[in-house]
Amino acid sequence: MKIGVILIFFCIFTVLLCINTGFADDNIGKIEQALSQGSPVPEGELEAVGTVGGCSATLITDNLVLAAGHCFCDDFGNNCGNRAQFILHDVRPVNNPNIRQDISISGDVRIHPEYGKRGWLREDYSVIELDQPASSVALVNPISVENPWNIPLVGEKLTLVGFGATGTDCKSPSKGKMKMEVAVDGSGWGGISFKNAQLHSCPGDSGGPIINKAGHVVGVASWNQGSSSTYRPTSYAYNWIYGIPTPGWSDCSWIPIETGGINSHGKSQYCPEGSYLTALDLDGDRSLSDMDTPVIGQAKCCKIKGAKSHKWEKSEWFQIETKGISSHSMLGSWCPQGSYITGIDLDAAAGSDPMDSPVIGQVQCSKPTGYDTWGSTYWMDVGPDLSHQKNDWCLDGAFITQLDLDRVAGDDPHDSPVVGKAKCSCAREQATPTPTPATVPKDFKATILPFPAYEPVYPVINEGIIKEAEPVDMNEIAIIEPAVINVTGNYEPEENINLPGLDYSSFDLSSDDPLLCVQACEQDSQCVACTYVKPGVQGTSARCWLKNGVPEKQTDQCCSSWVKP
């Protein structure tokens, strides 16, 4: 959460402070244990992981090297170096493959344009465009970046690789290239985090990769705070990494959605021909009946800048399951590759409160690559602050490609209000951007991974209608009066205590009672701790922050905090 952010920023800046030569005096994660808990990388393995200045880096194509932005700039994106030398260690040279030696290749440095602008070093990415192909001087296979749809999940085991320092407090010299396997503790658009008390990054590991079981890069080492290491996800910056241009929006307009008309309950698209759905405004009429669709308001539709106006070639309605890959999974999409969401029919789940916002959860955002596949992909939290505002939920011209509306996964088969169909359309003509030569992997092909089956029995869906489904309030921020609070045991929050960090969700409360926040955490299987913020601190209402870990306590009169026993 944002209480005490200034103090945290000062801590982070001292950790990641860079010198002005274009290379970092890399100090990621000054902690008691490091990659020394891992093992040396055997000869011939992970040869594409090398070094650049004081950082680690990865050869991802024959002419591109991926590293961190702070390896070349200060924390504000200033004083950036524009040239670098990437060193491959202990590899076989092309002109004498019987020996092994270090090989250096120079190149131009490209820093993510948003680095240092949004805070928290979020766009902490850099790419070195080599002066010559690596294959011309070294017999090394690049480690490709993962398909952006395959976003690491919490609990998934990934391999961290780097040349960082070793020993207690990271004070011993580097032992060369090290690797270790760690389970993911947090995964989102802002970062992939690891909170293992024994396994962390050290100075020299910045810019190094995390690699999944498929052998692909899914993140870049960025920074460390206390016992938590953060890597920036490659899925978020995929288009930028490979030099794929992302067109902006043009001709944006808000289209009214009628309470009971054809575009609310009918199977017609919300947006005019040639436009795409980019945002929803769900602040509807308070007098609606329970059977009205929860999407009452407006849909924001935009055309791609520079693209020709065109009609839809084909439109199909795809069934959205109550539970399973299409409704609750963060893998895959409602629409096939190359298709766009142009309408959503939500009149299948009866019994929801008409004032409930169906979008309390996450929205998946993706950018087109121009190859009939999605590129940069990330999940964005959508709460009351975004659900009822006329703002784009996705950043930087990305499309809405999927909604996940069940924050308490597996709790109730009726939780997701998206039980019906999503309308998907392919454009007849598409503007194909010209990518940077030799940057887009030729073998790139989007895939949808299988989603594990659920054990509970779910309602039968027949032509988009739930049968025998009991009425359910699908608003996860519905008003909870003190009279209905029913908690037992040690549920009293600790007063004047703030737990900054490790947040995965936040929302305003309907009253000033801290037990509302405790109850929300107690009923959420993902929640480990929560912080209640008093009214007037972060707005007129009290606010609750749910956490998937237990941060270090800070004394602060703004808050009360509770840790799940």
Provide φ and ψ at 546, rounded to 5°: -95, 140
pLDDT classification of 162: cutoffs 50, 70, 90: confident
Q: H or E stretch including 531? A: strand 529-533
Lowest mean pLDDT among 201-215, 421-435, 448-462: 448-462
| Residue 448 reports pLDDT greater than 70 | no
How far apart are the C-alpha atoms of 210 and 219, rounded to whole Å? 5
User: Do the beta carbons of residue 80 and residue 115 sit within 8 Å?
Assistant: no
Q: Which helix (H) or strand (E) holds 250?
A: strand 249-257
Q: Distance (Å, rounded) from C-alpha 103 to C-alpha 134?
A: 9
pLDDT value of position 504: 72
Comparing 117 with 363, which gets the higher pLDDT? 117
The closest of 367, 133, 71, 430 to 240, measured between CA atoms, is 367
Output the CA angle 347-349-355, nearest 5 degrees. Answer: 80
User: How far is the C-alpha of 435 from the C-alpha of 116, rounded, in Å?
Assistant: 25
In tens, the pLDDT along 53-77 reads 889 999 999 999 999 999 998 777 7
| Least confident range of 26-40, 299-313, 537-551 | 26-40
Unique residue bearing structure tokens 């994106």: 77
CA dihedral in degrees (551, 557, 563, 565; nearest 10)?
140
Q: Which pLDDT score is estimated for 234? A: 94
Question: What SS3 string covers 46-99?
Answer: CCCEEEECCEEEEECCCCEEEECHHHCCCCCCCCCCCEEEEEEEEECECCCCCC
* pLDDT, position 334: 55
The residue with greater pLDDT, 357 or 195, is 195
pLDDT tens digits along 17-33:
332 333 333 333 222 23
Answer yes or no: is pLDDT of 396 > 70: no
Give the integer Cα–Cα distance in Å for 330 and 386: 20
3-state secondary structure 208-247: CEEECCCCCEEEEEEEEECCEEEEEECCCCHHHHCCCCCC
Which pLDDT value is given to residue 34? 38
Q: Name the pLDDT band for 46 (thresholds 50, 70, 90).
A: very high
Mean pLDDT of 230-247: 87
108 Cα distance to chain centroid: 28
* Sheet of 361-368, strand order: 374-382, 361-368, 399-404
| Residue 121 zone, left/alpha/beta (φ > 0; ψ -120 to 50; rest) | left
Take residue 97 and report the two structure tokens written for it.
């493959």
pLDDT at 561: 94
Handedness of CA 302, 308, 310, 313 (dihedral sign): negative
Residue 425 is predicted with a pLDDT of 45
Looking at residues 501-506, what average pLDDT do you find?
75
pLDDT for the residue 39 = 83
Average per-residue pLDDT for the chain: 65
- pLDDT of res. 254: 64
Q: Please state which of the ranges 228-232, 265-269, 300-304, 391-395 shows the lowest mean pLDDT.
A: 265-269
Categorise residue 351: left if φ over 0, alpha if ψ from -120 to 50, beta otherwise: left
Q: Which residue has the higher pLDDT, 550 or 174?
A: 550
Cα–Cα separations (whole angstroms), residue 318 to 111, 238, 341: 40, 27, 10
Say what the pTM is.
0.58
Query: What phi and psi, each to the nearest 5 degrees, are found at residue 16?
Result: -110, 15
Per-residue model confidence (pLDDT) at position 352: 32
pLDDT band at 48 (very low <50, low <70, confident <90, very high): very high
> Mean per-residue pLDDT for 123-138?
96
pLDDT score, position 389: 45
Q: Which of 397, 422, 410 shows the shortest CA–CA distance to 342?
A: 422
pLDDT (0 to 100) of residue 63: 96
Least-confidence region, from 125-129, 310-314, 349-353, 511-515: 349-353
Full set of structural domains in the chain with CATH: 5-241 (2.40.10.120), 262-466 (no CATH), 482-563 (3.50.4.10)
Reported as a pLDDT band with limits 50, 70 and 90, residue 44 is very high
